[in-house]
Amino acid sequence: MSLLYATHARVHLGNIRDNLRAIRAAVGPERKVLVAVKANGYGHGAVEVSRMAEATGTADWLGVATVPEGLQLREAGLRLPILKLGPTFPWEMRAAIEAGLTLAICSREEAEALAAAVAEANRPASVHLKVDTGMGRIGVSPAEAPELARLIVGLPGVVLEGVFTHLPVSDAADVTYTREQILRFRITAGLVQEAAGRRLLVHCANSGAVLGHDSAWLDMVRPGIMVYGFRPDPETPATIPLKPGMSLLTRVSFVKKVARGTSIGYGRTWVAPVDTNVATIPAGYADGFNRLFSNRGRVLIGGRSYPVVGRVCMDQSMVDLGPETDVKVGDEVVLMGPSGELVIPCEEWAARLGTITYEVTCQVNPRVVRIYDPY
C-alpha cells in the first residue's frame, strides 16, 4: 500500500491511544473524556481515531464542528455520544437530531428553533448550554445563562444535559485570566443547574487546561491537540507525557548531478554554489508541504538532514544532497517524524511556518493517504 502512495501520512493510532490513556490517568476515572475529532481528527482521520477510541474505551464522547462531521461518524457506525461544539443553523437541526447528535445551544432563538425541529422529527434531542465566559466567540452571557436554561427545560423533547464554556488562554504561562474564567464558569454552572433543577455535565477543559489547570477538569475534559501528541503552545506545562500521532513520508523520485551555477525550480531562487546532487520528491504544497518551506525547509533521508532548495512546487520539491551521496530513487524521505537518530517534529514545522501545530496537521491534504498503524 505505502509503495503505491509515495507521499503518505503514517498515523500512529497506538500513540494516540496512549495519549488518551495518559489523559484518563491524570484526570481520574470519575471524569469523562471528550476527544475533539473535528476537522478530520485534526487531520489524522476522524473515523479511525474515533473507532480506536470507542474500541479501546479511551474516550466517552466525540466532539465535532459541523453536522456533516457528526453524520460521517454515525454512518461509520460510531455509537459514542457526539457533541457538536458550535451553534447549529435551523435547517441543519433535523438531520442532527435524526443522527442523535448532541447540540450546543447558544441562544434563545436557537433553542426555540430546535424545539420546532424536535416536533417535526418526532424525536427528542439532548443539548449542552454554551456560555461565553471570556472567549468572545459564541455562547450566552453568564448573566443570561440561568434564564436560557430555564427556557430549555420547559421545551418539550429538548433535554438539557450539560453546560460548557471555552478557554482562550489556558495554554499560556500567565494563568490569571484562565483562573478567573474558571471561577466565573463554576459559579455560572451552579446557577444554571439551579435554574434547570438538575445536575448537568459541566465541562470547559481544552488541552491547555488539561495540562495546566486542574480546577477546570470538572465533570468532563475536552482535549484535542494533546490527543494527537502536541502541547497547544510551547509555554504550556508538559505535565502529561505525549507521543506524536502522525509522521509524513515520501520517497525520492529523481536524482541528478547539478553543476555549480545551475538554477533549481520556479523563479530560479536557488543556484547551486558548488557541483552537487539534487533529489526531487513527489510532495508539494498541494500535499501540505507548505510553500513557505521554499529554501527554508528540510527533510530526512536515511537518518541525515538535507535542505529544501528552490521553491516548493504544487506536487514536487527539491533537496540538496551535497557533492557526495548514495541517495537513490525510491529511498524513504521523512518530511515530519523520526529517521535514524534524527527527528523533524511537528513543532519545528509550526515554528518555521509561523503557525501552530494544529494548522500543520490540519493542512495535510486529502490527497495524502493516511496509513494507520495497528493499536
The dihedrals phi and psi of 103, each to the nearest 5 degrees, come to: -105, 145
* Stretch of residues binding ligand PLP (CB under 6 A), selected from 6-14, 216-224, 238-246, 274-282: 216-224
Q: Which of 10, 213, 222, 231 binds ligand PLP (CB under 6 A)?
A: 222
Task: Tell me how far apart the alpha carbons of residues 219 and 59 are, in angstroms, rounded to a whole number.
Answer: 14
Q: Which residue is nearest to ligand PLP (CB)?
A: 224
Question: Which residues are known catalytic residues?
Answer: 38, 266
The residue (of 85 and 160) whose beta carbon lies closer to ligand PLP is: 85
225 binds ligand PLP (CB under 6 A): yes
For 186-267, where are the E strands, in sequence order?
Answer: 201-205, 220-221, 246-251, 254-258, 263-264
> Which one, of 172, 169, 148, lies nearest residue 160 by Cα?
148
Query: What's the closest the beta carbon of residue 265 comes to ligand PLP, in angstroms?
Result: 35
Mode of pairing for the β-strands spanning 276-281 and 254-258: antiparallel
d(C-alpha 343, C-alpha 336), whole Å: 7
Nearest distance, CB of residue 370 and ligand PLP, angstroms: 19
Residue 367 to residue 78: CA distance in whole angstroms = 25
Would you count residue 232 as binding ligand PLP (CB under 6 A)? yes
Contact track, ligand PLP, 12-41, x by CB under 6 A:
------------------------x-----
In the structure grid, which three cell numbers stand for residue 305, read together?
A: 538532514
Task: Give the DSSP per-residue string, 239-260.
Answer: -S-----EEEEEE--EEEEE-T
Closest to ligand PLP by CB, 206 vs 317, is 206
Name the minimum Å distance from CB 117 to ligand PLP.
22
CB of 357 to ligand PLP, least distance (A): 9
Residues 320 and 372: beta-carbon distance below 8 Å: no
Query: Whole-number minimum distance, CB 37 to ligand PLP, in Å?
Result: 10
Residue 166 lies near ligand PLP (rule: CB under 6 A): yes
CA distance linking residue 333 with residue 321, whole number of Å: 12
Which of 6/220 has CB closer to ligand PLP?
220
Residues near 25 by beta carbon (within 8 Å), at least 6 away in sequence: none
Choose, by CB under 6 A, the member of 46, 52, 64, 85 that binds ligand PLP: 85
**Contact status: 50 vs ligand PLP (CB under 6 A):** no
Choose which of 139, 162, 223, 244 interacts with ligand PLP (CB under 6 A): 223
Q: Footprint of ligand PLP on this chain (CB under 6 A)?
A: 36, 85, 166, 206-207, 222-226, 232
